[in-house]
Amino acid sequence: MRATEIIEKKRDGGELSAAEIDWFIQSVTAGSLPDYQAAALLMAIYIRGMTRRETVDLTQAMARSGDQLDLHDVVPYAVDKHSSGGVGDKTSLVVLPLVAACGVPVAKMSGRGLGFSGGTLDKMESISGWNGAMSLARFKQQVVEIGLVLAGQTAELAPADGKLYALRDVTGTVSSIPLIAASIMSKKLAAGSDGIVLDVKLGRGAFMTTLDSARELATTMVNIGRDAGRDVVALLSDMNQPLGHAVGNSLEVREAIDALLGEETTPADFWAHCLEVAGHMLVLAGAAPSLEEGKRLAAAARDDGRAFEKFRQMVAAQGGDVDQVDHPDRLPHAPLSAVIESTRAGYIGEINASQIGWSCVYLGAGRAKKGDPIDLAVGMIFSRKVGDHLQVGDPLGRVYARDGESLARAVAEFKKSITYSETPVEPLPLFYGMVGGKEG
């Protein structure tokens, strides 16, 4: 095949064949296709789009570009979740133990954070000694032993995705629904999941800012999963304000531990979000006949301590200091902090979640570019929500920093992220709907 012919075909609005897509992905993976030709085809896809069949073929070709896990020798049905990322989204740390405690084995591969979208591995590394790197044999063994494993994605899992994303990032082709969907779903298919719950964020703190764009992405990913023979449900969730209160690695781990313990300080929105995701995972796995029953089972696993114990087991199995789980005050903590108070009376009308997220990146809690070091101790506690009424001097939250300069900057950004209203404002919904579900 000739690259120029494939590029011209898509440029002119043609539909690529499965063979042409396979050749493209194989050539990218092998490094035999020049970057300028790969980038040209990505731009043609960005402008012309892809059909459902093309998108599925692209996703499956990317999944086949490296290792493909098969967990059926250790679990009859593998269930997984994926979040498109957001500010304060530490959901996996609670949901995975909840589901595993209900008797559904969970074997999850996660990534690191980039920008204000924190990575699950980064959060977990707030616990001293915890290690997400392991062989596939050990990965499967831990599933058998305790029913829960959380590991880093191997570099050989859908390697074509990493190469294509690097090109998309520098050629203005990131925001393409088919390319985003293929990127996410290729890794999920390669990881061997039978059932997948997708948490698609929308709003000012998410990549998809509108409900329509989020629903389009969710529908595309559900279709990919179904055409590949998987059970998929996508939840459309709000990211116009931070999820929960904590933003920052060790702060989020502590909030997750509080949620597993059922502490009264657990933010209501965060716990409700975790229950929803866990309930859907239990339904997909056949452990619950309905979402409400799934949520009831998950809540019971928290209330009787099984979920917290499952989290402890996972931490211990992966070399982590369980003493820090039992005593979260021993997690990394920043040397400086400042309480932020409201400067005026009124209702919170808007919270710029993106601004909060980037403020935490500047504190050191996230990465501006891949490979940047992160500070596990810094971040923010944002204890107010849209619709809350405040008086002058009421506390809004607290900033945790490593030095005075970054503290002052974060405090200023924190204050600018809030818009006040003189009239009452309705609280934001947690979810805007769902797409898909278990078929048959």
Query: Is residue 328 a contact partner of residue 253, using CB atoms and an 8 Å limit?
Result: yes
| Whole-angstrom distance, CA of residue 296 vs CA of residue 289 | 11
| Whole-angstrom distance, CA of residue 62 vs CA of residue 183 | 8
Query: Is residue 113 a contact partner of residue 119, using CB atoms and an 8 Å limit?
Result: yes
| Whole-angstrom distance, CA of residue 301 vs CA of residue 278 | 11
Look up residue 371 and give its two tokens. Answer: 């490979």
Q: 79 burial class (0-12, 13-18, 19+ CB within 10 angstroms)?
A: buried
Q: HSE (CB half, 13 Å, CA atoms) of 82?
A: 25
Decide: helix, strand or coil at residue 369.
coil
SS3 content of the chain, % helix, strand, coil (to 5): 45, 15, 35
**β pairing state of 346-351 and 389-390:** antiparallel
CA proximity to 70, closest of 136, 120, 12, 6: 136
Query: Is residue 401 a contact partner of residue 360, using CB atoms and an 8 Å limit?
Result: no
Task: Taking the CA atoms of 355, 396, 264 and 203 in sequence, report the sign of the dihedral they define.
Answer: negative
Which residue numbers are catalytic? 82, 161, 168, 183, 187
CA proximity to 96, closest of 310, 289, 253: 310
Residues in the chain, total: 440
Query: Is residue 146 a contact partner of residue 317, using CB atoms and an 8 Å limit?
Result: yes
303: left (phi over 0), alpha (psi -120 to 50) or beta: alpha
